[in-house]
Structure 1
Amino acid sequence: MSQVSCQKCPPISVLQWKPENSHWHQRWVDSDEFHSDDGCQAIYAESQICIILASANDIRACISCRNSFTKTFSIPQIWWSDYCRNSNGYLGSDISRHNGVITGFSTWAYFEVKHLDAKMQYQWHKMNLFIRWLAPTKQTIILAFDTRSPVAERIPDSLQNPDSSCLGDPFWVYARLASDVVDLQDSAVWAIRNQVRAIETERKPKGKPQPDYRHLHDVARHAIHVTESLNVAAESMGGILAQHDEFLSQNFPTQMIQIDASETIHRQLLFCRHMLNNLRHRSISNRERLQNEIQLAFNTVAQYDAGISVQIGRAAQSDGASMRKVAFVTMMFLPATFLSAVFSMSFFDFQADSDSWNVSSKFWIYWVFAIPITIASSLLWYFWHRVFPLTLMEH
């Protein structure tokens, strides 16, 4: 029964691989063909391997196309959820049965890699796959969503010329694409390592150190993202191995699965997981080396500032010693200055010819004004330093 056709969704690129061909055959398929069972089956009926390059966001936005893809390729509803779309990686699987007989095996996986170039420009490489394997015909249908360069070129190149003995195992796709994931992750880790190495070997300027903290922060941020994607990729690869073991334990006809081919696939997946774990250690080492450089930059600046503070303290100590000398000299001359000021007043009259010394009877006026003013000045100074600083601190 055909569904309502879709007129607004763009054509979808389909790559077909037939046993007698040595290259991929590409054609563009209108979205209407996915809305009918006959039209959709005709897309991959004559192909042993079929790669469908589609946009997940476009299909999510179109309810008709979403229902068609869900029904045709047995995509679970959980795959369309927002948390799967916003996830940084996952792995899932499902088995299709008819009357108790296994008819198909579906797996879906998502990997993302952050690559940083020498100019600190980054790009996310994403590999979003939904793989549908048909048990009766051993056909493999690969839905590759939102692929961009270089992932868009890697997927067909890695899956061409498959060994016919491996087609009975649906995980042969992951065995080939896992090496691409390792290669992309390796480039991402070494890109961070190159940035860290450049920071380590940078010549430090003489005088005051001036580290570029913003650059250090940006490199650390990218290093955290690379480590995060590596951890998720390693866990997903471990999940693929576990799902492969579970697949081999299912009751499939013996002619469908060749044990030697499945063991080879398992060893390839196991090697890729070990490589991802090794890259995780290198990525963690990059983060620790970068953190060491950041700590060194902080310590260098703090040490330089401490040296400047010591110099300022020594200068202040020298100034204090000079001020004490000035104060001592001032105190030495202060009594004489006071006496000369007092005796120079008109209250005293000294006659050199008569050798007489006269003191005015109004001399007490000087003390009447001098003593109260001195006391008032002392009180004003006391209250100024006790009251006004506290009032300013409250504001």
Structure 2
Amino acid sequence: MSSKQHLHGATHGGSAGLETTKTVLDAFCRPPEDGAAFRLAFISAKLSEKGKPISNYPTEDEQQRLHDVLGMDTSFWSKMQQDSSSYFGAEDHAKPHSETHSMLHSHTTNLRLLIKVAETPPNASLAVDKGVPYAWAEFGVFTRWQPGGRTAVLVQCGRGTETIGALRHLLEPLTRLDNVKDPYMVYALILQRLVFEFDKSVWSWRDRVRDFEKDRLSQKAMQSIVTRIVSNEVPHGDHKNSSAPSEEHEPGKPTSVVFNMVPPEPDYQRMHEVARHIIHCTEMLATAINVIDNIIQEHDAFVNEHADLLKDAKIEISNTRKAFRKHKSFLQGFHLRSKALEDRLSNEVDLAFAAVTQHDSKVAVKIAEATQSDSASTKTISFLGLIFLPSTFVCSLFSTSFFSLQPTVQVDGTQGTQGPPSTVKSDNVPTYWMMSDRFWIYWVWAIPLTIVTIFVWSVWQNYSVKRHPKARSEAPRRLKLGAMFSPFKKIREQKMEALHEIEVGQKV
């Protein structure tokens, strides 16, 4: 008589060779015809994001049948438990017709774990152009163990035939047993595969972090290459194809072309997307460690409470405990590695910010140097203007109609009466240098306009509404007028300081 029974549910894509969920559950709930001591079934079913069942999800009737026949709680299929990151629960069921209800009829357990892995389309949950592709690996396990070793295991798996095949291979030794002495032996084998899945998850995100590190190193190498090209291969004095300044190039000295050609371009958005997924990965590992702790506690409690049923399973119990401790040790190592990935990625983000800041600072230095050169040219022009300003003023002043040269000969040919001529022209005609008696008009207009201009400039420099928008309405009018119109610099500075204190007080 065969001691095993395998049932395989369909994947989401309805892969060939796998039966539908209805067929699998019908066979799983029926008593085995061959008296198999170990029954194993796989289904691939999940809820949509809105909590509605999609293809292959058990109907309410099927969920109720699993509860009635095997004692599987219908809450296992609820949205809360299906969306839970991880949990583990166990329950003892007494014989229904026992007088004291103290005899164990069956022991059931529920397990759920989530694993987040880096994926590529078409298996990913997110397209590459919209972010970092990823996928969730979902595992749900129900077990039912009865005294005598009869065991039923239902695995809800969302990772397709590869994981189902691996779990089936791991559980194969149990199918050759006449009875399963320790009900938690199943979890020792299932967790062996799930630990492998967690390892793949951590390494998949490690590859994403490593990509950022490689990109940084490649950018640094490119910058080094450009530096060597600029330093060693640019001919002396040849800057036709270079953005460097026009001064002579010193061999071995890099020019500003490096900063223009290879600016750092970190992908901050992608970095933060990967960081978000690694945080999820770390969370899943932490919850998985808690789940194993719960399994160990429930296993110890079951062994202590039902020692009479397990008196012949000492070796199996010992090996199961050792397996749990080993799996927990693996997960703790993966958890530390995931935390290290968070730190490495955080370091890359900080370094990217520093590299961009450093590059911008170098560019700013180059701009400052160019500005300094322009400033020197401006100073030269201003100095030349200052040199010619006095003579220009004199020319402008004496070219006005207030000054003129008049000939000493009248229109009728007679000699003028102004006195002796001040000069004699080339045509021997004597002339006089004359200043208008209304020359005072020039000073009457020039001096007040100069004073008004200086005053307006002083007011504009000392007070502006844009400088103190809040103090505009709150400060005393006398204080504002003093800051604007006081002729003494020290008083204006005191008033401005008072306005600044008022504004700071309003901000606080």
The equivalences for 1:378-393 within 5 A come to 378-382=454-458, 390=466
Structure 1 residue 263: deviation in Å?
Answer: 0.9
Structure 1 residue 225: deviation in Å?
Answer: 2.0
Partner in structure 2 of residue 124 of structure 1 = 136
Secondary structure of the residue aligned to 2:381 is helix
Q: Deviations over 1:129-155 (max 9, x none)?
A: 1111122x4211112225431333233
- Higher mean alpha-carbon deviation, 148-157 vs 244-253, is at 148-157
Structure 1 residue 111: deviation in Å?
Answer: 1.4
Partner in structure 2 of residue 12 of structure 1 = none
Is residue 250 of structure 1 aligned with residue 305 of structure 2? yes
The equivalences for 1:125-140 within 5 A come to 125-135=137-147, 137-140=148-151
Structure 1 residue 312: deviation in Å?
Answer: 2.2
Structure 1 residue 267: deviation in Å?
Answer: 1.0
Partner in structure 2 of residue 364 of structure 1 = 440
Rounded to whole Å, the distance in 2 between the matches of 1:211 and 1:63 is: 51
Is residue 88 of structure 1 aligned with residue 143 of structure 2? no
Secondary structure of the residue aligned to 2:182 is coil
Structure 1 residue 43: deviation in Å?
Answer: 5.0
Distance 1:102 1:157, change over 3 A: same
Give identity over the alignment, percent. 26
Q: Which has the higher contact order (CA 8 A, sep 6+)?
A: 1
Structure 1 residue 342: deviation in Å?
Answer: 0.9
Rounded to whole Å, the distance in 2 between the matches of 1:109 and 1:166 is: 22
Q: 1:52 aligns with which of 36, 41, 58?
A: 41
- Higher mean alpha-carbon deviation, 288-297 vs 320-329, is at 320-329
8 Å Cα contact 2:37-2:178 kept in structure 1? no
8 Å Cα contact 1:96-1:105 kept in structure 2? yes
Partner in structure 2 of residue 66 of structure 1 = 63
8 Å Cα contact 1:118-1:191 kept in structure 2? no
**Count of residues paired in the alignment:** 374
Secondary structure of the residue aligned to 1:155 is helix
Rounded to whole Å, the distance in 2 between the matches of 1:255 and 1:241 is: 16
Structure 1 residue 40: deviation in Å?
Answer: 3.7
Structure 1 residue 62: deviation in Å?
Answer: 4.1
- The AA in structure 1 aligned to 2:110 is W
Structure 1 residue 169: deviation in Å?
Answer: 0.8
- The AA in structure 2 aligned to 1:311 is K
Rounded to whole Å, the distance in 2 between the matches of 1:393 and 1:266 is: 72
Secondary structure of the residue aligned to 2:305 is coil
Distance 1:219 1:53, change over 3 A: same
8 Å Cα contact 1:60-1:66 kept in structure 2? no
The equivalences for 1:266-285 within 5 A come to 266-285=321-340
Partner in structure 2 of residue 145 of structure 1 = 156
Q: Deviations over 1:294-313 (max 9, x none)?
A: 21111111111111222222
8 Å Cα contact 1:52-1:143 kept in structure 2? yes
Partner in structure 2 of residue 374 of structure 1 = 450
Q: 2:385 aligns with which of 330, 340, 357?
A: 330
- Higher mean alpha-carbon deviation, 357-366 vs 57-66, is at 57-66
Is residue 226 of structure 1 aligned with residue 226 of structure 2? no
The equivalences for 1:187-226 within 5 A come to 187-202=200-215, 203-204=218-219, 205-206=222-223, 207-226=262-281
Q: Deviations over 1:337-387 (max 9, x none)?
A: 111111111211235323532111222222233334334444454555567
Secondary structure of the residue aligned to 2:116 is strand
Structure 1 residue 190: deviation in Å?
Answer: 1.4
Give the TM-score, by structure 1 length: 0.82
8 Å Cα contact 1:110-1:127 kept in structure 2? yes
- Higher mean alpha-carbon deviation, 290-299 vs 377-386, is at 377-386
Rounded to whole Å, the distance in 2 between the matches of 1:30 and 1:122 is: 26
Rounded to whole Å, the distance in 1 between the matches of 2:310 and 2:468 is: 91
Structure having the higher strand fraction is 1
- The AA in structure 1 aligned to 2:189 is R
Partner in structure 2 of residue 112 of structure 1 = 114
Is residue 260 of structure 1 aligned with residue 336 of structure 2? no
Is residue 172 of structure 1 aligned with residue 205 of structure 2? no
Give the TM-score, by structure 2 length: 0.65
Is residue 238 of structure 1 aligned with residue 293 of structure 2? yes
Let me know the Cα RMSD of the aligned residues. Answer: 3.4
The equivalences for 1:304-319 within 5 A come to 304-319=359-374
- The AA in structure 2 aligned to 1:130 is F
Structure 1 residue 388: deviation in Å?
Answer: 6.6
Rounded to whole Å, the distance in 2 between the matches of 1:160 and 1:328 is: 96
- The AA in structure 2 aligned to 1:114 is K
Rounded to whole Å, the distance in 2 between the matches of 1:44 and 1:129 is: 24
- Higher mean alpha-carbon deviation, 291-300 vs 247-256, is at 247-256
Rounded to whole Å, the distance in 1 between the matches of 2:299 and 2:78 is: 25
- The AA in structure 2 aligned to 1:107 is T
- The AA in structure 2 aligned to 1:88 is S
Rounded to whole Å, the distance in 2 between the matches of 1:197 and 1:32 is: 45
Partner in structure 2 of residue 301 of structure 1 = 356
Rounded to whole Å, the distance in 2 between the matches of 1:30 and 1:344 is: 108
Secondary structure of the residue aligned to 2:466 is helix
- The AA in structure 1 aligned to 2:65 is S
Structure 1 residue 118: deviation in Å?
Answer: 6.8
Rounded to whole Å, the distance in 2 between the matches of 1:381 and 1:231 is: 68
Partner in structure 2 of residue 13 of structure 1 = none
Q: Deviations over 1:159-187 (max 9, x none)?
A: 11326377021111111111101111111
Distance 1:368 1:44, change over 3 A: farther
Structure 1 residue 64: deviation in Å?
Answer: 3.2
Is residue 292 of structure 1 aligned with residue 347 of structure 2? yes
Structure 1 residue 70: deviation in Å?
Answer: 2.4
Distance 1:39 1:77, change over 3 A: closer
Rounded to whole Å, the distance in 2 between the matches of 1:130 and 1:77 is: 11
Distance 1:255 1:146, change over 3 A: closer
8 Å Cα contact 1:118-1:195 kept in structure 2? no
